[in-house]
Amino acid sequence: MHGSKIQHRFCGREFSTEEVSLIQEVVDTCAGISQNELANTVCELLEWVRPNGKLKTRECLDLLAQLEDQEILKLPDKRQVGNSTPRRYKAEVQADAPYSALTGSVEEFTPLDVERVQTQEQRDLFKDLLGRYHYLGYAMPFGARIQYLVYVTRPRREVVGCLQFSSPAWRMKSRDQWIGWDDNRRAEGLQQVVNNSRFLVLASIRNLASAMLSAVLRHLKTDWESQYGISPLLLETLVDRNRFHGGCYRSANWIELGETTGRGRMDRANRHRSDRVKTVLVYPLVKNAARRLREGR
């Protein structure tokens, strides 16, 4: 099916051989997500948007259906999708906005209570906290995702952090070189890599970030496999070097691989921007994760 990589014209746009191949890759690697989420992912990667900046999701769904009719790809079965709330949200922090005033050492507050975000109330809280306190705001990730809220239970129950895990970067030089896989293996095994795409600490408690990370990782592998039917082998994250050192990752034995190029995922102008350079860190969830990804074990 995937040996036929041809140019394709649809809705007035010419899709190159490379773009059709990328669409095939998205469909193959984003197991467990809906057709709507696939269409949003494709639109974002190919920068297929309307003049107002909104994604051409409807047109992309028709394109995906046409490619399936031509046996270029195979779509997942249709299923009910969630609401269509805005994907991006950034709010100004008000003087009276809720924010934890807890201080001290994390040992005074452990064990931490980890809640997976599943109800509407949890989703609203997660979105509000990231929108107010994360420097990037809240952005609903494309593709697969699992989100967590972390609480302390004394002196009272209070949320102290948020973590989000989502689909990995399609290509990342330092990661791909560390694994040592070729494009074919990467396309087959990429879904076993998970990206820690948001990390928010809400209290000035010593060593809280490391404790949160450790507590959440005790749940992630099982939750991801339950949700998507895929057993993740490797975690990755990108740390903004202009803002953070990434000490909580390093103290938790994450491995620094290098830096990104400072380009966007579909940057056609080959523009390097120093303010977009990120430090790449990974964390193997199993022994010999790189070899298992490389060899397809």
Q: Which two tokens stand for residue 146?
A: 């699992």
Torsion of CA 20, 173, 287, 238, to 10 degrees: -100
Q: Among residues of the chain, what percentage have pLDDT more than 70? A: 84
Q: Band of the pLDDT at 85, cuts 50, 70, 90?
A: very low
CA–CA distance from 120 to each of 76, 82, 123 (Å)?
Answer: 25, 10, 5
Q: Enumerate the H helices of the chain as residue ranges.
A: 17-29, 35-46, 57-69, 120-133, 173-179, 183-189, 208-228, 247-251, 289-295
> Which SS3 state, helix, strand or coil, does residue 47 take?
coil
**What sign does the dihedral 201-203-207-208 (CA atoms) show?**
negative
Domains contained in the chain, CATH given: 6-70 (no CATH), 96-295 (3.40.630.30)
Least confident of 2-16, 184-198, 203-217, 244-258: 2-16
Half-sphere exposure of 223 (CA within 13 A, CB side): 19
> Which tens digit of pLDDT belongs to each residue from 103-127?
999 999 999 999 999 998 999 999 9
Nearest C-alpha neighbor of 230 from the set 140, 165, 153: 165
Residue owning tokens 């036929």:
4
Give the DSSP letter string of 163-184.
EEEEPPPS--HHHHHHHT--HH
CA–CA distance from 238 to each of 229, 230, 261, 282 (Å)?
Answer: 25, 22, 12, 9
> Which tens digit of pLDDT belongs to each residue from 207-222?
999 999 999 999 999 9
CA distance 53 to 183: 31
> Which tens digit of pLDDT belongs to each residue from 29-70?
776 678 888 888 888 888 888 777 788 888 898 899 889 888
Total-model pTM? 0.71
Q: Among residues of the chain, what percentage have pLDDT more than 90? A: 43
Instruction: Report whether 151 contacts 115 (CB < 8 A).
Output: yes
What's the whole-number mean pLDDT along residues 178-189? 91
> Which tens digit of pLDDT belongs to each residue from 126-154?
999 998 898 888 877 767 889 999 999 99
> Which tens digit of pLDDT belongs to each residue from 264-297?
444 444 454 455 789 999 999 999 999 999 998 6
Q: Which residues contact 57 (CB under 8 A, 6 or more apart)?
A: 36, 39, 40, 43
Q: Band of the pLDDT at 6, cuts 50, 70, 90?
A: low
Torsion of CA 64, 67, 72, 77, to 10 degrees: 50
